[in-house]
Amino acid sequence: MTDFFAGIAPVRYEGPDSDAELAFRWYDPDRVVMGKRLEDHLRFAVAYWHSFAWPGGDPFGGQTFERPWFSDGMEAAKLKADGAFELFEILDAPFFCFHDADVRPEGATFAESRRNLEEIVDYFAGKMETSRTKLLWGTANLFSHRRFMAGAATNPDPDVFAYAAATVKSCMDATHRLGGQNYVLWGGREGYETLLNTDLGRESEQAGRFLSMVVAYKHKIGFEGTILIEPKPQEPTKHQYDYDVATVYGFLRRFGLENEVKVNIEQGHAILAGHSFEHEIALASSLGIFGSIDMNRNDYQSGWDTDQFPNNHPEVALAYYEILRAGGFATGGTNFDAKLRRQSLDPVDLVAAHVGGMDVCARGLIAAAAMLEDGGLERLRAERYAGWDAPEAQAMLTSDLASIAARVESDGIDPQPRSGRQERLENWVNRFV
């Protein structure tokens, strides 16, 4: 037990008219939308790294936060776990996510780090017997320690590849033991800073081999969760191999893994790649690789991965629209890969950030469900592509250029442009958000 959140009561749904600072105005876990409870649609997760491990630094300044667990050793790690489960209870959070490095102290050797992780995993398991918070996903931090500065799986040094493989094995074991529903790989250092010292082809072969081993190990231990890759175009490396959903799909196809691995799509990463969040979700679902989301937002001006909590419900409504349209989450969920601003020092700030984020997502999802139930966009889309229902249009797809050319002349085909109706559709969306 800690007294970190002393005086903060569990947050409950009070409806849009509540004037309490800490209350859910939209997130009523039991509200049924499209036949499912909101809690089961949204599947919220708290991210251990930002909420409990991050000290509040930026590139110009160090720690701003004071947390009772900010010191080395297993006792501090357990105190941190106590604090984490206290926040989960305040929020009634259904899930959490963690990296090995967030939860255990680094040991002097690999074996000691692994034992530290196992001890904390046992400690988590004990807490999870009485808590209702489950593990959405586990992952390995293969980017913070200096040994990974030139990559993990893509490192020119085979000893680093080995160390990364051993680390991922220990994190998959931990995730499996805790009943995790997914296992995530985000390749923060799987890229390069300069081509002058980089063998691109060799590095991506290594990454493909590594991922194949991860999939094989999943089957070996009987882990039933989903393996997820999290695309990001840059940061920390200048160029990353897992740039965006399209790039990751090409990579999976190249190594024959497109039926084994799905994607965890992060709002901020989509924007950095020059896409919208909903584009990445729609593309992944059209390719059959949609898995989960990391919910956050970037600052509109600063142009980097600022990992802020979402606060714009019309924006998230479009993302949830694509998720609902794809049938909703299976093993995935909404992980708040989001951190406080470094001046937000108080424990209550951490609670308020999550409450606000959960409310924004709930409001967005409710709007998305209403749009889908109305069916306006789907009707317009069906109408827009209706010409393709004609037998001669379908036949064209299995035909060839010369026969199509002959038909254009014999039938006197003369396409008539039609409005794309974008503004009317935008107005339509605004009726729901």
Q: Which residues bind ligand XLS (CB under 6 A)?
A: 99, 139, 184, 186, 230, 232, 266, 294, 305, 337
Which residue pairs from 422-430 have beta carbons closer than 8 angstroms and sit at least 24 positions apart in sequence?
425/377, 425/380, 428/376, 428/377, 429/314, 429/317, 429/318, 429/371, 429/377, 430/314
CB atoms within 10 A of CB 342: 16
CB atoms within 10 A of CB 84: 26
Q: How many Cα atoms within 13 Å fall on the side-chain side of residue 136?
A: 28
As given in the structure block, the two tokens for residue 180 are 């995790």
Helix then strand then coil, % of the chain, to nearest 5: 50, 10, 40
> Residue 144 or residue 344: which is nearer to ligand XLS going by CB?
144
Q: Counting contacts by CB under 5 A, is residue 244 touching Ni ion?
A: no
Q: Counting contacts by CB under 5 A, is residue 203 touching Ni ion?
A: no
> Residue 102 or residue 294: which is nearer to Ni ion going by CB?
294
Q: Counting contacts by CB under 5 A, is residue 322 touching Ni ion?
A: no
CB of 201 to ligand XLS, least distance (A): 26
Q: Counting contacts by CB under 5 A, is residue 86 touching Ni ion?
A: no
Report which of 414, 291, 349, 380 is spatially closest to residue 43, judged by C-alpha positions.
Answer: 291
Residue 79 to residue 13: CA distance in whole angstroms: 29
> Residue 139 or residue 372: which is nearer to ligand XLS going by CB?
139
> Residue 173 or residue 242: which is nearer to Ni ion going by CB?
242
CB of 116 to ligand XLS, least distance (A): 19
Which member of 92, 190, 266, 280 binds Ni ion (CB under 5 A)?
Answer: 266
Specify the amino acid at residue 30: D
CB of 304 to ligand XLS, least distance (A): 10
> Residue 173 or residue 294: which is nearer to ligand XLS going by CB?
294
Which member of 337, 340, 350, 364 binds Ni ion (CB under 5 A)?
Answer: 337
As given in the structure block, the two tokens for residue 74 are 């297993």
> Residue 187 or residue 364: which is nearer to Ni ion going by CB?
187
CB of 266 to ligand XLS, least distance (A): 5
Residue 304 three-state SS: coil
Contact region with Ni ion (CB under 5 A), list: 127-135, 292-300, 338-346, 386-394: 292-300
CB of 230 to ligand XLS, least distance (A): 5
CB of 225 to Ni ion, least distance (A): 17
Residue 45 to residue 197: CA distance in whole angstroms: 39
Catalog residues that contact Ni ion under the rule CB under 5 A.
266, 294, 337
